Amino acid sequence: MTSDDTVAVSGSPTIATIASETGVSPTTVSKVLNGHSDVAPETRARVEASLERHRYRRRGRRQPVATAQIDLVFHEFDSAWAMEIISGVEAVANAATVDVVLSQLRGSHSPTRAWLDAVLARRPFGVLFVLCHLTSAQRQRLHRQRVPFVVIDTDSATSASVPTVGSNNWNGGLIATRHLLDLGHRRIAIVSGPHEVLCSQARVAGFRSAHDEAGIPVDPGLVRYGNFHVVAGYEHGMELLARADRPTAIFAGSDMQALGVLRAARRLGLDVPGQLSVIGYDNLPVAAWTDPTLTTVNQPLRDMAGTATRMLLDLAGGVDLSTSRIDLVTELVVRESTAPPAGGR
Amino acid sequence: MTSDDTVAVSGSPTIATIASETGVSPTTVSKVLNGHSDVAPETRARVEASLERHRYRRRGRRQPVATAQIDLVFHEFDSAWAMEIISGVEAVANAATVDVVLSQLRGSHSPTRAWLDAVLARRPFGVLFVLCHLTSAQRQRLHRQRVPFVVIDTDSATSASVPTVGSNNWNGGLIATRHLLDLGHRRIAIVSGPHEVLCSQARVAGFRSAHDEAGIPVDPGLVRYGNFHVVAGYEHGMELLARADRPTAIFAGSDMQALGVLRAARRLGLDVPGQLSVIGYDNLPVAAWTDPTLTTVNQPLRDMAGTATRMLLDLAGGVDLSTSRIDLVTELVVRESTAPPAGGR
């Protein structure tokens, strides 16, 4: 029986009084007070009525009880993409009866010292970082504190000692571009994510590799970096499509960016896919419901999240990981937004 | 100085040894071991090198430390809608230095006994329930355990004693329908959420009130209940629009449902808004980027979440709430998907 932190307010009855009045043991009264479920309903009702009558007051604030928890930290909450990750993490954590504490860094890719202090003080079972960069000093602090962590997708060149789950961005860039080249496109623009995020560079590298493979030159004016949001797709789309020698296909860095590109095409009176092909990236649920539906690269976000969570639980349990980086496969999902260029090959 | 739970593995040095070897106090060595940040970098490096050399091992598992946390519980994780709520809650909780523990009930609207047992054992600061129904017995358990809770939107008829934050669903149904009637529509279908969720019924009631106001009868065949997802919008849309006496406008229960309706219209060769007007509900970010962009009812999800979190923190702090139910205002956001019916009024 755990020690009971309740005490009667002076002048009020004690647990012993309640017990004697209701004809149950003090242990049973304490069980009712602590909300344990193994008390017969009629007994509980009798005890609670007695507690109510005596206006029994628990002393002070409830003391929270620490349980096994993992921290899930996002660089920022980005709507549907983040929700896929959250779902994948929660599913595995829930099955392991581990709680998930959710937070975000409000757009910053690196946690602050204060943030790390607070997390270390709490001693979580482990931490999952999504699109965050940890400095070497921060990684050492976590390591010294025996707080395991896993990074979900971002830096394709993380140190071998940082457990990472990603998806094959280079392959994603390659297969999307091959699809467009196979359809006959020769002027293909790519609007990738931020230049400093290496997954953007990996996709552009895949884009270039596909061109090399086909012996087709890349026009540097058609290679753009932005961010992964809708507006960047719209702005780059408007600018690219307003050119006299506009591209016949645009490979956007995300499905949300692709929505922006679709809007730009609509604004300029260009039919998709009749006059312009568009490919997105991620395969978010909305990609199946746009007009036209979006050809895109499937990023298995829930699987990545689930895999990262299992890796983290293994690390927390003292299991040595056989490999520190796992990249899940990216696959092309062909829908309505891509077709041969107008006028054929 | 907190008691140090480290102990040297037999045959290995103690903190005193490390301290003496590195010329610092045992307190400083302990600070480095516990990851405290107020140690000069060069001192820390020296101590850590010494610890490494001696292969200093912390005893046993890290003990998690309990902190103030609130539980945020969803009936299910529904992509962008849930993300808006999560963002709103996290913003307020973060400012109050309270952690957010996230979970879902996997589609069930009521927590199980086991779930409640686990949460009560953890003694959170409070619980936020999203689209969940608590039985009277469950509410009493939480109350008895002094675990405050707030419900975010769902049952328009919750007991006055259940702190609730919602949005005015009846008003949302009213203003959307008025907009369509004002445009000249006389055969308007409504596809609402599940019948058993009262916010669906409140919106249908608003739909009916707008018709009463305008003296126009409602065709019962045009009143449908489904769920809030895309496929329900598509299926109801296909069925409604295939009728010879099809509606000239469809008021969908959510933006995601509206996407499904737009797909059905496209499939049947109907131009929106030229031949069919469509209104959504929620004003999710994607509503501004569909084709056509979606007229919808703004549900201030982040504000609702922030308000509910503030209410919960007040309750947890012992503040008496002056009112137990707050409904935030719903407003119409007019975009491209609504227009007068073909052929005019």
pLDDT tens for each residue of A94-145: 988 899 999 998 888 788 888 888 888 888 889 999 987 788 889 899 988 8
Structure letter (DSSP) for residue A249: E
A288-302, B76-90, B169-183, B272-286: range with lowest mean pLDDT:
B76-90
A24 CA: distance to closest CA in chain B (Å)? 18
- End-to-end Cα, chain A, rounded Å: 79
C-alpha of B145 from chain center: 25
Q: Which residues pair with A250 in a beta bridge?
A: A189, A278
Which residues in chain B touch residue A55, judged by CB atoms under 8 angstroms apart?
A: none
What sign for the dihedral angle of Cα B47, B53, B59, B63?
positive
- The pLDDT value recorded for residue B59 is 47
**ipTM topping 0.90:** no
Least confident residue range of B32-36, B83-87, B252-256, B324-328 = B32-36
B77 CA: distance to closest CA in chain A (Å)? 7
Query: Is the preceding peptide bond at A273 cis, omega within 30 degrees of 0?
Result: yes
Q: Suggest the residue from B57, B84, B99, B301 to mutate for an interface test with chain A (most A CBs closer than 10 A).
A: B99
**All residues at 6 or more sequence positions from B315 whose CB lies less than 8 Å from its CB, including other chains:** B126, B148, B150, B163, B321
* Percent residues over pLDDT 70 in chain B: 88
- In three-state form (DSSP H/G/I as H, E/B as E, the rest C), the secondary structure along B253-264 is CCHHHHHHHHHH
State pTM to two decimals: 0.76
What order do you get walking across the sheet with A188-192 strand by strand? A223-225, A188-192, A249-252, A277-279
**Identity of residue B103:** S
Asked if B37 lies within 8 A of A125 by C-beta distance, the reply is no
Residue A10: name the closest of A61, A55, A62 by CA. Answer: A55
Closest residue of A to B90, CA-based? A103
Least confident of A108-122, A197-211, B209-223, B330-344: A108-122
Report the pLDDT value the prediction gives residue B4, as an integer from 0 to 100: 39
Q: Does B74 touch chain A (CB under 8 A)?
A: no
- Regarding predicted confidence, which is higher, B135 or A257? A257
Residue B167 φ/ψ, nearest 5 degrees? -130, 160
Give dist(CA A111, CA A133) in Å, integer. 8
Q: What is the mean pLDDT of residues B99-110?
A: 87
Average pLDDT of chain B, as a whole number: 85
Query: CB contacts < 8 Å between A and B, how many?
Result: 155
Minimum distance, in Å, between the CA of residue A103 and any CA atom of chain B: 7
Residues of A in contact with B32 (CB under 8 A): 144
**Residue A324 Cα, gap to closest chain B Cα (Å):** 22
Q: In whole numbers, what is the pLDDT of chain A averaged over residues?
A: 85
The A residues from 12 to 51 touching B (CB cutoff 8 Å) are: 32-37, 48, 51
- Check if B124 contacts A (Cβ < 8 Å): yes
Contact flag B64-A286 (C-beta cutoff 8 Å): no
Residue A39: count of CB within 10 angstroms of its CB: 17
Instruction: State how far Cα A105 lies from the chain centre.
Output: 13
Nearest beta carbon to residue B102 from set A37, A90, A146 = A90
Query: Nearest CA to A11 among A50, A57, A60?
Result: A57
B205-256 pLDDT, tens digit per residue, is 999 999 999 999 999 999 999 888 889 999 999 999 999 999 999 999 999 9
B220 token code pair? 């019962």
Both tokens assigned to A263: 């809007």
If you average pLDDT over each of A73-77, B138-142, B171-175, which comes out highest? B171-175
Per-range mean pLDDT, top range of A32-46, A204-218, A315-329: A204-218
Evaluate if residue B29 carries a pLDDT over 80.
no
Average pLDDT rounded to a whole number, residues B5-15: 48
CA distances from A102 to A69, A260, B98, B285 (A): 10, 29, 11, 22
Burial class (CB in 10 A: 0-12, 13-18, 19+), B163: buried
Asked if A136 is an interface residue toward chain B (Cβ–Cβ < 8 A), one would say: no
Which has more confidence, B69 or A323? B69
Q: Nearest Cβ partner of B77 from A83, A146, A289? A: A83
Residue A158 in this model has a pLDDT that exceeds 80: no
- Asked whether B302 and B84 are in contact (CB, 8 A), the reply is yes
Instruction: Chain A: give the shortest CA distance to residue B238, in Å.
Output: 15
**B193 versus B214: which is more confidently predicted?**
B214
CB A300 within 8 Å of CB A165: no
Under an 8 A CB cutoff, do B123 and A62 touch? yes
Residue B61 scores a pLDDT above 70: no
Q: Are A172 and A209 contacting, i.e. CB atoms less than 8 angstroms apart?
A: no
pLDDT reported for residue B7: 40
Mutate to test the interface with B, among A67, A100, A272 (most CBs of B within 10 A): A67
The size of chain A, in residues, is 345
Residue B237, pLDDT score: 96
Closest CB to B80: pick one of A83, A120, A146.
Answer: A83
The verdict on a CB contact (< 8 Å) between B83 and A87 is no
Nearest residue of chain A to residue B51 (CA atoms):
A144
291-320 in chain A: CB under 8 A from chain B: 291
The confidence band for B9, taking pLDDT boundaries of 50, 70 and 90, is very low
Asked whether B72 and B101 are in contact (CB, 8 A), the reply is yes
Q: Distance (Å, rounded) from C-alpha A137 to C-alpha A106?
A: 21
pLDDT of residue B159 exceeding 70, the answer is no
Tell me the chain B residues in contact with residue A125 when contact means C-beta distances shorter than 8 Å.
62, 64
Q: Which residue has the higher pLDDT, A12 or A184?
A: A184
* Structural domains present in chain B: 1-60 (1.10.260.40), 69-167+302-328 (3.40.50.2300), 169-300+332-344 (3.40.50.2300)
Q: Across the interface, do B37 and A266 touch by the CB < 8 Å criterion?
A: no
Exposed, middle or buried by CB within 10 Å (0-12, 13-18, 19+), for A40?
A: exposed
Taking an 8 Å cut-off on Cβ atoms, the answer to whether B80 and A80 are in contact is yes
Q: Measuring CA to CA, which residue among B309, B282, B270, B326 is closest to residue B125?
A: B309
Q: Token digits for B118? A: 């686990």
Which pLDDT does position B36 carry in this prediction? 63
- Res. B158 pLDDT band, cuts 50 70 90: low
- What residues 273-292 of chain B have any CB closer than 8 A to a CB of chain A? 285-286, 289-291
Span A199-212, average pLDDT: 93
Q: What whole-number distance in Å separates Cα of residue A21 and Cα of residue A32?
A: 15
Amino acid present at A331? E
pLDDT at residue B97 tops 70? yes
A79, A87, A141 ranked by CB distance to B285: nearest:
A79
Mean per-residue pLDDT, A267-287: 94
* pLDDT exceeds 80 at position A235: yes
DSSP annotation of B250 reads E
Closest CB to A83: pick one of B35, B82, B122: B82
Note whether A35 contacts B120, CB cutoff 8 Å.
yes
Bridge partners of B326, per DSSP, are B165
Task: Give the model's pLDDT for residue B255.
Answer: 93
For residue B315, pLDDT over 60 is answered with: yes
The answer to whether A259 faces chain B, any CB pair under 8 Å, is: yes
Give the pLDDT score at B106.
85
Mind telling me how many Å the CA of A70 is from chain B's nearest CA? 10
Taking an 8 Å cut-off on Cβ atoms, the answer to whether B64 and A66 are in contact is: yes
Long-range contacts of B20-28 (CB under 8 A, 24+ apart): B21/B50, B22/B46, B22/B47, B22/B50, B27/B1
Output the DSSP codes for A130-168: ES----HHHHHHHHHTT--EEEES--TT--TTS-EEEE-
Q: Is the dihedral of CA A15, A18, A19, A20 positive or negative?
A: positive
